[in-house]
Amino acid sequence: MTLPQRDWCTRESRSTYRGPVHIVVLNWRDTANPEGGGSEVYVEQLARRWARDGHRVTLVCAAHTAGPSLEERDGIRIVRVGTKLTVYSRARRLLRRGTLGRVDVVIDTQNGIPFFARYATSIPTVMLVHHVHREQWPVVYDPVRARVGWFVESVAAPRALRGTAYVAVSEATKGELIAQGVSAEDITVIHNGTEALPDSGASRDSSPRILVLGRLVPHKRVEHVIAAAARLRSRHPGLTVAVVGDGWWAENLHQAARAHGVADIVEFTGHVSEDEKARQVDRAWVLALPSLKEGWGLVVMEAASRAVPAVAYADAGGVTESIADGATGVLVRGEEADFADALDALLADTARRQAMGAQARERSAQFSWDASAKRFEELLIAAVHANAEGQATSWSSRRRRKAHRP
């Protein structure tokens, strides 16, 4: 691939790195990808703000039919190469050959598997981890590939990347990284921000309505909500469930709705516009997020911005931070039946549900994408500045020496 060479860094910024720098983000997907999700939103929300502030930002991700191989969007140069499996080697090749132009710092996004970018370049590298995939490997892949994937994520990567700076999106993710051997000193927690959904003009439905929002993939466990609907429909006349989003698991969910006898009350919207998403949220009484694992739970805060409380599992990672248990939603400690009971209790108690919704809206305003982008930017600039001053041959190698110090 031949890319236009544009050097956005001034001579002054090269020596001091107090001005614009070139940030390369490696992520296996982008938000235009039909399989894109919350981790892609996180990356692009921050990247958009870095570009707005004058930095050059290049996002390297897998190719797909919904976007061209080279695109500029919201100030971000997007380079799409390879598949979801080959994008890792293709991205390293781009760095190694200098195809992306002068690069000052790389963000290596680890969605289960890292890009191992620091072995393709001597420039500073920062790891970004949304959540650890321990529970998801056996759900998505066969036993052999699941074991290999988990070994790479939990053993090979922490050892190979020892001493590298990490960013985790929640304290829960930080704790799991520490359990894998990543030093706590190397991990900075930078939460997701919240972009409040616009007022759609829609009102809460007069009858109970449960909302599921996000990609339709196995580890989201939307089946738990469908099963709950079958149990609760007789207790809550007029009950409906809106499943907003799409994914390769969608047909399985349609089959589950038919099998549970609730196909008439479960609405599958597929992908929707932002305006329609806001309308669906405004109509909902409660958000159901039965996911096996979330780094944060971006949809929790989207719903919260419109005063919709959430129900999720207490052992599902970052949702323990995006949901304030008992205040802005409910964290379920138990099984599928307990999840249904939590939904039942919220649907039945209007005063409690509305109080939680009000607190959820208030809390969502405390998380700003601008603040998250600024904090991450400071970490990146510190890495670049340390490298430029010759404190080490690279940010990563300086940390490696520290990590191996007896």
The pLDDT of residue 393: 43
Average pLDDT over residues 7-23: 55
The pLDDT of residue 41: 93
Residue 17 has pLDDT above 80, yes or no: no
Q: What percent of the chain has pLDDT over 70?
A: 91
How many helices (H) and strands (E) would you count in the chain?
16, 14
The pLDDT of residue 390: 61
* Domains detected in the chain: 11-193+369-397 (3.40.50.2000), 209-364 (3.40.50.2000)
50, 377 in Cβ contact below 8 A? Answer: yes
- Per the model's pLDDT, the better-predicted residue between 37 and 15 turns out to be 37
Residue 16 has pLDDT above 80, yes or no: no
The pLDDT of residue 399: 53
Structure tokens given for 352: 């409690």
Q: What are residue 332's DSSP bridge partners?
A: 313
Backbone φ and ψ of 245, nearest 5°: 140, 180
The pLDDT of residue 136: 82
d(CA 123, CA 295) in angstroms, rounded, equals 27
Residue 12 has pLDDT above 60, yes or no: no
Q: How sure is the predictor about 385, in pLDDT bands with cuts at 50, 70 and 90?
A: confident
Q: How sure is the predictor about 196, in pLDDT bands with cuts at 50, 70 and 90?
A: confident
Q: How sure is the predictor about 135, in pLDDT bands with cuts at 50, 70 and 90?
A: confident
Instruction: Read off the pLDDT of residues 87-127 as tens digits, 9 standing for 90 and up.
Output: 999 999 999 999 999 999 999 999 999 999 999 999 999 99
The pLDDT of residue 337: 96
Instruction: Read off the pLDDT of residues 27-64 as tens digits, 9 standing for 90 and up.
Output: 999 999 988 888 899 999 999 999 999 999 999 999 99
The pLDDT of residue 139: 81
- Per the model's pLDDT, the better-predicted residue between 401 and 149 turns out to be 149
Question: Measuring CA to CA, which residue among 75, 109, 68 is closest to residue 91?
Answer: 109
The pLDDT of residue 123: 93
The pLDDT of residue 178: 97
Backbone φ and ψ of 356, nearest 5°: -65, -40
Query: Regarding beta strands 76-80 and 70-73, do their DSSP bridges make them parallel or antiparallel, or are they unpaired?
Result: antiparallel
